[in-house]
């Protein structure tokens, strides 16, 4: 048995390394392509390490498209959307999980049904609604759309997290003299952090990567998000300027990586710690 | 309690900051009542040279016309259809729109495009090729000004041609399809395929080349269009199929390729000949390794060299508030001198005959071949068929791909194109 256990450890590390390579390889290839000249990109034998690395693709990308401004626009839109989604979802999810009522059931039904609507079905009515409300070609309009689009899933996720927190904890806090608000703040909220972080990550990534809503609802070049800017490196007949596209795409991943690095620790924090002995 | 208030304040401040930033980030798409006329022009320029050409033209116009100012918007080919349909439906389309002729009839039928028939100057009418005007005219109304044309030519690895002792044909003495098949066989060996046909979404290209043998795919009677599939329509399909599966001189892996996919193999000598549009010269110039020699072979000849004129165009939105000003800018944008610059930027053929003689173009690689290609372009029957785009996307592209993948016979292909195609066309004619 000890021999089997010791053999499995190297195996685990091999599997882990293989998985890391699988995850990281696309990013490495992106970096590699961003540093290559056009002839090297078009070579029949692909090279991982560029033979004549160049920063020309980055220069071209930044010179020909407003990458920095698009990134800032996307940070504002995605960050605000994620924040509003989470702030609105938390109290709603708590009520849905703790208080069974017709309203809760209807809300759950809306959450499920809304996931069935494909984008193409709603885009023109949505466009008309926003235009009539004076929100066409505004970041605010786009944020509202992203919040509405990601809230159902965030609600569903947070409701499950709240349901997983034993109600006995709140009762125990009440017995100890804590009011409802204090119980929520000091008992429930810390345990909800992983769920809140997961919902925020989902909303942020959805907004960050989203393309079609932004395409239809934004027109002014100064407002365009990074997904709209990246597609400008692709021309007719599917021809792409791969070098500048790779450079721009690489730069576009940085804010997401930073965001994930900051909040990913919270995913494993705040776990239940034997507060209730059953 | 204080910490609750503090945290709530922080969250509220963050949300408010985001909302304020977003509200400040509102596009100002309306001009003032006093002051210059503001026009928007959405271009699909993609290559840096083309984008620069567009911007320089607009800058010059704005400098010369302080009372009519034009804003440049850059669209993209990949998503322009969705974007324009939504914009036109919502009444927020740009004043001037760069697109291609194949969608004009559909847009015109929906009332989205301005009829330019009586607005175009005689000078512009005389300067632009008749075939290009035919491609933008529907029911005797002109809905766009054509400016960039493409033609199907062949790019060849010059070193491989020289090794095989094959001479490059002159524009006035092109290869026939039979000669092309023979040369492809001659160029094929253990390491090289004679030709790489990139056949992703092949319908437009096949219908285009079918004109070499009089294959029209559509007939019209009493105002109604019907799909036809006779010997003339089968000719090019059969020839390419034979190259793939009889001669085996065509690379099978290229069937699913599109865009620049075949270039690595072309540069590596795996494919000797590469049939592509004339604009593809730019891709080869940009990505070829040092020392790679290549040449442009003129369009092939069947019964004729005829190909479809499917120009890129600029239209004026019917909803524009300034049609005369928009037309004035359009006349300037697509005058002979500017068409030459724009064609150079995209490595295509200008619809303007005056532009074709501009040295900006005549000094580009293999220009005589490109210039000769412009003379073979005519309006094709499929360009005036209502429902063509739906037929192409739903029936023709998948069926022709299956045929070239050898999983559909010629007869079955014909049945699909005709039966399923006519069912689609019938809906457009009710």
- Please give the angle made by the CA atoms of A123, A221 and B59, to the nearest 5 degrees: 135
Cβ–Cβ below 8 Å for A131 and B44: no
Residue count (chain B): 430
- Can you give the pLDDT at residue B15? 55
- Tally the C-alpha atoms within 13 A of residue B35's C-alpha that lie toward its C-beta: 7
Helices A189-209 and A242-263, packing angle to 10 deg: 170
Cβ–Cβ below 8 Å for A234 and B76: yes
The answer to whether residues B234 and B295 belong to one domain is: yes
* Structural domain boundaries, residue B128: 2-149+310-353
The answer to whether residues B347 and B281 touch, using CB atoms and an 8 Å cutoff, is: yes
Single out the residue of B353, B328, B327, B319 nearest to residue B339, CA to CA: B353
Cβ contacts of A211 on chain B, cutoff 8 Å: 79
Cβ contacts of A89 on chain B, cutoff 8 Å: none
> Looking at the domain assignment, is residue B234 inside a domain?
yes
The answer to whether residues B103 and B172 belong to one domain is: no
| pTM score of the predicted model | 0.85
Give the burial class of B420: count Cβ atoms within 10 A of its Cβ; 0-12 exposed, 13-18 middle, 19 or more buried. Answer: middle
Cβ contacts of A128 on chain B, cutoff 8 Å: 89-90
The answer to whether residues A35 and A51 touch, using CB atoms and an 8 Å cutoff, is: no
Q: What is the pLDDT along chain B (430 residues), one digit of tens a residue?
A: 445 445 545 555 555 555 555 544 444 444 445 789 999 999 999 888 999 999 999 999 999 999 999 999 999 898 899 899 989 988 899 999 999 998 999 999 999 999 999 999 999 999 999 989 999 999 899 999 999 999 999 999 999 999 999 999 999 999 999 999 999 999 999 999 999 999 999 999 999 999 999 999 999 888 889 999 999 999 999 999 999 999 999 999 999 999 999 999 999 999 999 999 999 999 999 999 999 999 999 999 999 999 998 999 999 999 999 999 999 999 999 999 999 999 999 999 999 999 999 999 988 889 999 999 988 999 888 888 989 989 999 999 999 999 999 999 999 999 999 999 999 999 988 7
Q: Mutating which of A40, A42, A144 best tests the B interface, going by the most B Cβ atoms within 10 A?
A: A42
Distance of CA B276 to CAs B155, B336, B366, Å? 7, 26, 14
> Looking at the domain assignment, is residue B368 inside a domain?
no
The answer to whether residues B144 and B257 belong to one domain is: no
Cβ–Cβ below 8 Å for A76 and B18: yes
- Can you give the pLDDT at residue A179? 81
d(CA A275, CA A49): 53
Distance of CA B354 to the CA centre of its chain: 21
Cβ contacts of B28 on chain A, cutoff 8 Å: 220
Cβ–Cβ below 8 Å for A234 and B73: no
The answer to whether residues B266 and B390 belong to one domain is: yes
Cβ–Cβ below 8 Å for B86 and A216: yes
Single out the residue of A199, A264, A236, A259 nearest to residue A71, CA to CA: A259
Domain A65-268: homologous superfamily in CATH: MetI-like (1.10.3720.10)
Residue among B4, B19, B74 minimizing CB distance to A232 = B74
The answer to whether residues B283 and A239 touch, using CB atoms and an 8 Å cutoff, is: yes
Distance in Å, alpha carbon of B122 to nearest chain A alpha carbon: 32
The answer to whether residues B89 and B219 belong to one domain is: no
d(CA B59, CA B325): 16
The answer to whether residues B159 and B269 belong to one domain is: yes
d(CA B243, CA B34): 66
**pLDDT tens-place string over residues A10-37:** 889 999 999 999 989 999 999 999 999 9
If DSSP codes are grouped into helix, strand and coil, which group holds residue A100?
coil
Is 90 exceeded by the pLDDT of residue A118?
Answer: no
Cβ–Cβ below 8 Å for A221 and B73: yes
The answer to whether residues A140 and B26 touch, using CB atoms and an 8 Å cutoff, is: yes
Query: Which residue in B has a C-alpha nearest to residue A80's C-alpha?
Result: B18
- Can you give the pLDDT at residue B27? 46
Q: How many domains is chain B built from? A: 2
- Can you give the pLDDT at residue A272? 42
3-state secondary structure chain B: CHHHHHHHHHHHHHHHHHHHHHHHCECCCCCCCCCCEEEEEEECCCCHHHHHHHHHHHHHHHHHCCCEEEEEEECCCCCHHHHHHHHHHHCCCCCEEEEEHHHHHHHHHCCCECCCCCCCCHHHHHHECHHHHHHCEECCEECCEEEEECCEEEEEEHHHHHHCCCCCCCCCCCCEHHHHHHHHHHHCCCCCEEECCCCCCCHHHHHHHHHHHCCCCEEEECCEEEECCCHHHHHHHHHHHHHHHCCCCECHHHHHCCCCCCHHHHHCCCEEEEEEEHHHHHHHHHHCCCCCCEEEECCCECCCCCEECCCEEEEEECCCCCHHHHHHHHHHHCCHHHHHHHHHHHCCEECECCHHHCHHHHCCCCHHHHHHHHCCEECCHHHHCCCHHHHHHHHHHHHHHHHHCCCCCHHHHHHHHHHHHHHHHHHHCC
Cβ–Cβ below 8 Å for B29 and A216: no
Query: Which residue in A has a C-alpha nearest to residue B8's C-alpha?
Result: A87
**Encoding tokens for residue B277?**
């549009």
The answer to whether residues B97 and B236 belong to one domain is: no
> Looking at the domain assignment, is residue B244 inside a domain?
yes
The answer to whether residues B233 and B115 touch, using CB atoms and an 8 Å cutoff, is: no
Distance in Å, alpha carbon of A125 to nearest chain B alpha carbon: 9
- Can you give the pLDDT at residue A3? 56
Predicted complex: ipTM over 0.95 = no
- Can you give the pLDDT at residue B264? 96
d(CA A64, CA B51): 9
> Looking at the domain assignment, is residue B369 inside a domain?
no
Average pLDDT on A35-51 reads 94
Distance in Å, alpha carbon of B151 to nearest chain A alpha carbon: 14
The answer to whether residues B55 and B97 belong to one domain is: yes
Give the burial class of B262: count Cβ atoms within 10 A of its Cβ; 0-12 exposed, 13-18 middle, 19 or more buried. Answer: buried
The answer to whether residues B228 and B426 touch, using CB atoms and an 8 Å cutoff, is: no
Distance in Å, alpha carbon of A257 to nearest chain B alpha carbon: 21
Size of interface A-B (CB pairs under 8 A): 144
Cβ contacts of A131 on chain B, cutoff 8 Å: 90-92
Single out the residue of B393, B390, B427, B396 nearest to residue B413, CA to CA: B396
Give the burial class of B13: count Cβ atoms within 10 A of its Cβ; 0-12 exposed, 13-18 middle, 19 or more buried. Answer: exposed
DSSP state of A211: -
Cβ–Cβ below 8 Å for A140 and B289: no
- Can you give the pLDDT at residue B30? 43
Distance of CA B271 to CAs A55, B185, B189, B253, B300, Å? 31, 12, 10, 11, 18
Q: Mutating which of A91, A232, A242 best tests the B interface, going by the most B Cβ atoms within 10 A?
A: A232
Cβ–Cβ below 8 Å for B28 and A220: yes
d(CA A161, CA B78): 40
The answer to whether residues B185 and B246 touch, using CB atoms and an 8 Å cutoff, is: no
The answer to whether residues B201 and B213 belong to one domain is: yes
- Can you give the pLDDT at residue B200? 92
CATH of the domain at B111: 3.40.190.10
Distance of CA B88 to the CA centre of its chain: 21
d(CA B418, CA B384): 17
- Can you give the pLDDT at residue A278? 42
Distance in Å, alpha carbon of B224 to nearest chain A alpha carbon: 31
Cβ neighbours, 10 Å, residue B84: 20
Residue among A83, A222, A236 minimizing CB distance to B46 = A236
Average pLDDT on A146-173 reads 88
> Looking at the domain assignment, is residue B375 inside a domain?
no
Cβ–Cβ below 8 Å for B289 and A128: no
The answer to whether residues B20 and B106 belong to one domain is: yes
The answer to whether residues B315 and B114 touch, using CB atoms and an 8 Å cutoff, is: yes
The answer to whether residues B256 and B199 touch, using CB atoms and an 8 Å cutoff, is: yes
Distance in Å, alpha carbon of A138 to nearest chain B alpha carbon: 4
Q: For residue B88, what are the contacts with CB-CB under 8 A and spacing of at least 6?
A: B107, B110, B112, B317, B319
Is 60 exceeded by the pLDDT of residue A271?
Answer: no
What are the domain boundaries of chain A? 2-54, 65-268
> Looking at the domain assignment, is residue B373 inside a domain?
no
Cβ contacts of A44 on chain B, cutoff 8 Å: 264-265, 267-268, 270
Is 90 exceeded by the pLDDT of residue A172?
Answer: no
d(CA B317, CA B112): 6
Cβ–Cβ below 8 Å for A138 and B25: yes
**pLDDT tens-place string over residues A84-100:** 999 999 988 888 888 88
Cβ–Cβ below 8 Å for A139 and B263: no
Please report the beta strands in chain A, taking only residues with DSSP state E, as ranges in sequence order.
none
d(CA B163, CA A189): 77
The answer to whether residues B141 and B229 belong to one domain is: no
If DSSP codes are grouped into helix, strand and coil, which group holds residue A53?
coil
Distance in Å, alpha carbon of B80 to nearest chain A alpha carbon: 9
Cβ–Cβ below 8 Å for A140 and B23: yes
The answer to whether residues B156 and B141 belong to one domain is: no
- Can you give the pLDDT at residue A246? 96
Distance in Å, alpha carbon of A17 to nearest chain B alpha carbon: 32
Single out the residue of A213, A193, A206 nearest to residue A263, CA to CA: A193
> Looking at the domain assignment, is residue B372 inside a domain?
no
């Amino acid at each position: 048995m000890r021999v089997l256990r010791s053999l499995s450890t190297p195996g685990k590390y091999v599997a882990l390394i293989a998985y890391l390579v699988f995850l990281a390889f696309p990013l490495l290839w992106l970096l590699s392509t961003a540093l290559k000249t056009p002839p090297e990109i078009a070579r029949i034998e692909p090279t991982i390490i560029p033979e004549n690395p160049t920063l020309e693709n980055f220069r071209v990308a930044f010179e020909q498209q407003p990458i920095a401004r698009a990134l800032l626009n996307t940070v504002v839109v995605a960050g605000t959307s994620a924040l509003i989604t989470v702030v609105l979802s938390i109290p709603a999810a708590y009520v849905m999980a703790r208080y069974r009522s017709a309203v809760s059931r209807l809300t759950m039904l809306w959450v499920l049904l809304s996931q069935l609507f494909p984008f193409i079905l709603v885009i023109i009515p949505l466009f008309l609604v926003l235009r009539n409300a004076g929100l066409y070609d505004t970041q605010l309009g786009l944020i509202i759309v992203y919040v509405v689009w990601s809230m159902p899933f965030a609600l569903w996720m947070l409701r499950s997290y709240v349901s997983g927190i034993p109600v006995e904890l709140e009762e125990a806090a009440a017995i100890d003299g804590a009011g409802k608000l204090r119980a929520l703040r000091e008992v429930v909220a810390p345990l909800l952090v992983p769920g809140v972080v997961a919902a925020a990550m989902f909303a942020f990534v959805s907004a960050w990567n989203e393309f079609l809503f932004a395409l239809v609802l934004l027109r002014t070049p100064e407002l365009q998000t990074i997904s709209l800017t990246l597609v400008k490196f692709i021309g007719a007949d599917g021809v792409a300027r791969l070098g500048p596209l790779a450079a721009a795409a690489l730069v576009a991943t940085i804010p997401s990586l930073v965001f994930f690095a900051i909040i990913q620790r919270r995913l494993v924090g705040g776990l239940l710690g034997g507060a209730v002995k059953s | 309690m204080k910490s609750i208030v503090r945290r709530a304040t922080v969250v509220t401040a963050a949300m408010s900051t985001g909302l304020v930033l977003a509200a400040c980030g509102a596009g100002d798409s309306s001009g003032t009542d006093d002051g210059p006329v503001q026009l928007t022009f959405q271009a699909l320029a993609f290559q840096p040279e083309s984008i620069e050409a567009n911007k320089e033209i607009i800058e010059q116009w704005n400098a010369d016309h302080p009372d009519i100012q034009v804003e440049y918007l850059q669209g993209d080919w990949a998503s322009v259809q969705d974007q324009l349909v939504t914009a036109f439906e919502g009444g927020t389309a740009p004043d001037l729109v760069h697109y291609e002729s194949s969608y004009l009839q559909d847009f015109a039928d929906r009332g989205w495009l301005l009829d330019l028939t009586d607005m175009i100057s005689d000078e512009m009418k005389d300067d632009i090729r008749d075939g290009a005007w035919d491609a933008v005219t529907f029911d005797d109304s002109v809905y766009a000004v054509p400016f960039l044309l493409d033609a199907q030519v062949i790019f060849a690895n010059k070193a491989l041609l020289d090794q095989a002792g094959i001479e490059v044909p002159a524009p006035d003495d092109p290869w026939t399809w039979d000669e092309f098949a023979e040369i492809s066989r001659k160029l094929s060996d253990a390491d090289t395929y004679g030709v790489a046909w990139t056949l992703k979404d092949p319908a437009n290209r096949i219908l285009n080349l079918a004109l070499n043998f009089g294959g029209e795919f559509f007939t019209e009677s009493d105002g109604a269009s019907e799909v036809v599939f006779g010997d003339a329509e089968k000719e090019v399909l059969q020839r390419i199929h034979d190259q793939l599966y009889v001669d085996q001189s065509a690379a099978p892996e290229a069937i699913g390729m599109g865009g620049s996919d075949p270039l690595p193999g072309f540069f590596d000598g795996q494919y000797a000949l590469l049939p592509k549009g004339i604009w593809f010269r730019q891709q080869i110039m940009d990505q070829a390794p040092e020392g790679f020699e290549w040449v442009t072979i003129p369009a092939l000849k069947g019964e004729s060299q005829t190909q479809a004129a499917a120009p890129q165009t600029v239209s004026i939105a019917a909803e524009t508030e300034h049609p005369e000003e928009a037309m004035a800018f359009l006349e300037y944008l697509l005058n002979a001198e500017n068409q030459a610059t724009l064609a150079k930027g995209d490595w295509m053929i200008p619809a303007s005959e005056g532009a074709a003689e501009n040295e900006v173009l005549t000094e580009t690689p293999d220009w005589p071949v490109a210039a000769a290609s412009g003379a073979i372009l005519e309006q094709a029957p499929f360009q005036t068929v209502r429902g063509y785009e739906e037929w192409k996307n739903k029936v023709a592209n998948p069926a022709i791909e299956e045929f070239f993948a050898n999983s559909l016979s010629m007869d079955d292909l014909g049945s699909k194109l005709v039966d399923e195609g006519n069912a689609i066309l019938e809906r457009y004619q009710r």
